C-alpha cells in the first residue's frame, strides 16, 4: 500500500513538472560522463562491440534518426563554431572560416541510410535479395588536416550502415576529437540510440592504433591519412579501406577561360590553407596563356616570387632535409609563410606562386600549404603528361581548365583519379559548388573512391525459392 502511495506521489510530482514545462528527471538521458571516451583502447572496443549488437537489431528508421541527430548536433551554431575553432587552435592547421564550411558540408552532405539500395532478382525460382549489411566494429584512423570533418563524415556513413566506430585520431587533434565524440554521443543518447556508437581512447597514440589494428573485435579498418598509415592497415591481414595522400595537379590550356581559371585555382588552392588532400598543389600551364594566367592569379590574391634565390629560401624554410613538409608550416597561411621570409603582405594575399621546372621539389612533393608552383609547357599534351607524373599514381584528384572536350577526356582517362574536376575549384569535387554527395575519406588505393554508407558494408544475399515472384 505504501508503495502505491509513493508511486502516485511521483506521478503527481512529474505531472506538476510537466505543467511547468520542466523535463521530468526520469525521462532525461542517464548521465554517462565518458560519452564514448575510454581510458584504454580495449575498453573503447568492447563498448563499441556491445553497442553494435544493439544497433544490429534497430530499425533502419531508427538508424536514420541517429544520423539526423549527428547532423543536428554539428549544425547547431555554437557546436559548429566550437569544433571549428578548437580544430584550428589545437592543430594550428587551416583556417577557421573554412573549417566552418567543411564541418557543415560533412554534416549536411554525407549520405545516410538512403545510400543502402537493395538489389532484388526475381524469376521462376523465386526471390533473391542482395543487401548492404554491417561489418560490425570499425576502427577508423583520422588525420590532423580534417580532424572533425572526418569524424562527422565517417560516423554518419558507418552508423547508417549499421556499424559502430572506434576512432584513432591523430594525437595532435586529441582534444577536439574527444570533444566531438562526446558531443555526438550525447546527441545520440538523447535521440534514443544505444550508448557508445562512437568511441575513442583518451590518449591516442601509435601504440593505441596498433592495439586497435590487432584487436580481433575490430572487423574493418579505415585509414584516412598519409602513406605510412595506409600501408600499415593494408598489411594488417584484415579488410581495410585506405584513403591516402594526393598531389593534385592542374592543367590549363589555351582554350580555357583564363580569368575564371585563375580565380578558381586560387580559391581551391587557398581553401583551408591548402590542407585538403584534393586541393590544387601544382599547375601546368601552356606557354601561350601562362603570363596572362599569372597576371590574373595576382589579381585574385596570389603573391609571385620571381627571384629564384628567394624560391630556394622558401623551400629551405618550409621543407625538411628529407624534402617533406615541415609540420610547423603545414596549413599555415600565405601571409604567415611570407612573413617568416621577411616579406610582409596584407590579408588579401592567399597563395604564393612561383615558376619552376617540372622536377622541382615544390611540384613533386605534397606540401599542404598555400605555395603553388607553376610549370610552363609548350603544349597541352605535355602538360597532361607532366601532370600524370606529378600525381605519382596516387589516382586521387586532378583538375583541368579547358574548353577542348577531347583534351578534357584525354586527361580524365590518363589520370585515373577518383576525382576529376573540370573548370572549377577542386572543392567542387567534394560537393562545394558541385553536384553530388561529400566525403572526407577518398579511398583511391583500395578503390571504394568517394566513400559513403555502402562502402562500409558487406553485400549479403538472402534467397527465397519458388515464391514472391509476382510477374
* Cell reading at 285: 600551364
Min dist. Cβ of residue 376 to ligand NAD (A): 26
For 196: left if phi > 0, alpha if psi spans -120 to 50, otherwise beta; the answer is left
Min dist. Cβ of residue 93 to ligand NAD (A): 8
DSSP per-residue string spanning 296-353: HHHHTTEEEE--HHHHHHHHHHHB-TTSSB-GGGTT--HHHHHHHTT----TT--EEE
* Alpha-carbon span 124 to 266, nearest angstrom: 59
Closer Cβ to ligand NAD, 175 or 186, answer by number: 175
Closer Cβ to ligand NAD, 229 or 302, answer by number: 229
Tell me which residue of 424, 430, 460 sits closest to 442, measured CA to CA.
Answer: 430
Min dist. Cβ of residue 156 to ligand NAD (A): 15
Phi and psi angles of residue 467, each rounded to the nearest 5 degrees, phi first: -155, 170
Closer Cβ to ligand NAD, 440 or 456, answer by number: 440
Min dist. Cβ of residue 125 to ligand NAD (A): 42
Closer Cβ to ligand NAD, 172 or 186, answer by number: 172
Closer Cβ to ligand NAD, 189 or 442, answer by number: 442
Min dist. Cβ of residue 228 to ligand NAD (A): 4
Residue found under cell 601571409: 335
Question: Helices then strands (H, E): number in the chain?
Answer: 16, 18
Closer Cβ to ligand NAD, 243 or 297, answer by number: 243
Closer Cβ to ligand NAD, 58 or 210, answer by number: 210
Let me know if 2 is exposed, middle or buried by CB neighbors in 10 A (0-12, 13-18, 19+). exposed
Min dist. Cβ of residue 95 to ligand NAD (A): 16
Instruction: Write out the residues near ligand NAD by the rule CB under 6 A.
Output: 141-146, 168-170, 206, 209, 224-226, 228-229, 232, 243-246, 277, 366, 440-442
How many residues are recorded in the chain?
Answer: 471
Residue of minimal CB distance from ligand NAD?
225
Min dist. Cβ of residue 278 to ligand NAD (A): 8
* Alpha-carbon span 241 to 457, nearest angstrom: 11
Amino acid at each position: 500500500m505504501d508503495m502505491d502511495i509513493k508511486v502516485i506521489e511521483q506521478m503527481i510530482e512529474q505531472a506538476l513538472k510537466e505543467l511547468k514545462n520542466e523535463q521530468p528527471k526520469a525521462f532525461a538521458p542517464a548521465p554517462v560522463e565518458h560519452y564514448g571516451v575510454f581510458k584504454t583502447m580495449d575498453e573503447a572496443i568492447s563498448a563499441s562491440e556491445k553497442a553494435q549488437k544493439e544497433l544490429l537489431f534497430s530499425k533502419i528508421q531508427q538508424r536514420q534518426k541517429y544520423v539526423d541527430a549527428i547532423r543536428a548536433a554539428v549544425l547547431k551554431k555554437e557546436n559548429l563554431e566550437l569544433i571549428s575553432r578548437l580544430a584550428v587552435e589545437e592543430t594550428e592547421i587551416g583556417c577557421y572560416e573554412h573549417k566552418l564550411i567543411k564541418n557543415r558540408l560533412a554534416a549536411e552532405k554525407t549520405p545516410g541510410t538512403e545510400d543502402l539500395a537493395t538489389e532484388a532478382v526475381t524469376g521462376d525460382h523465386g526471390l533473391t535479395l542482395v543487401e548492404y549489411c554491417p561489418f560490425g566494429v570499425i576502427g577508423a584512423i583520422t588525420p590532423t588536416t580534417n580532424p572533425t570533418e572526418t569524424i562527422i563524415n565517417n560516423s554518419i556513413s558507418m552508423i547508417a550502415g549499421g556499424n559502430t566506430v572506434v576512432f584513432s585520431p591523430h594525437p595532435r587533434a586529441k582534444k577536439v576529437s574527444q570533444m566531438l565524440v562526446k558531443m555526438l554521443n550525447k546527441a545520440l543518447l538523447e535521440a534514443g540510440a544505444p550508448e557508445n556508437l562512437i568511441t575513442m581512447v583518451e590518449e591516442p597514440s601509435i601504440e593505441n592504433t596498433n592495439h586497435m589494428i590487432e584487436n580481433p573485435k575490430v572487423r574493418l579498418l579505415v585509414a584516412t591519412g598519409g602513406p605510412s598509415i595506409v600501408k600499415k592497415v593494408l598489411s594488417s591481414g584484415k579488410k581495410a579501406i585506405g584513403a591516402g595522400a594526393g598531389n593534385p595537379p592542374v592543367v590549363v590550356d589555351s582554350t580555357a577561360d583564363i580569368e575564371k581559371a585563375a580565380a578558381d585555382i586560387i580559391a581551391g588552392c587557398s581553401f583551408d590553407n591548402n590542407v585538403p588532400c584534393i586541393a590544387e598543389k601544382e599547375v601546368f600551364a601552356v606557354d601561350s596563356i601562362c603570363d596572362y594566367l599569372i597576371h590574373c592569379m595576382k589579381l585574385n590574391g596570389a603573391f609571385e616570387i620571381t627571384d629564384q634565390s628567394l624560391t630556394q629560401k622558401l623551400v629551405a624554410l618550409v621543407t625538411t632535409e628529407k624534402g617533406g613538409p615541415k609540420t610547423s608550416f603545414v596549413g599555415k597561411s600565405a601571409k604567415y609563410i611570407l612573413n617568416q621570409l621577411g616579406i610582409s603582405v596584407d590579408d588579401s594575399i592567399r597563395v604564393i606562386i612561383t615558376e619552376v621546372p617540372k622536377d622541382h621539389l615544390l611540384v613533386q612533393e605534397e606540401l599542404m600549404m598555400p605555395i603553388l608552383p607553376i610549370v610552363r609547357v609548350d603544349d597541352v599534351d605535355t602538360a597532361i603528361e607532366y601532370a600524370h607524373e606529378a600525381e605519382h599514381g596516387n589516382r586521387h584528384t586532378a583538375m583541368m581548365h579547358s574548353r577542348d572536350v577531347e583534351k578534357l577526356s584525354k586527361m580524365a582517362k590518363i589520370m585515373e583519379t577518383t576525382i576529376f574536376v573540370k573548370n572549377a575549384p577542386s572543392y567542387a569535387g567534394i560537393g562545394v559548388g558541385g553536384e553530388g554527395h561529400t566525403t572526407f575519406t577518398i579511398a583511391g588505393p583500395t578503390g571504394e573512391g568517394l566513400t559513403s554508407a555502402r562502402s562500409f558494408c558487406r553485400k549479403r544475399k538472402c534467397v527465397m525459392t519458388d515464391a514472391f515472384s509476382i510477374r
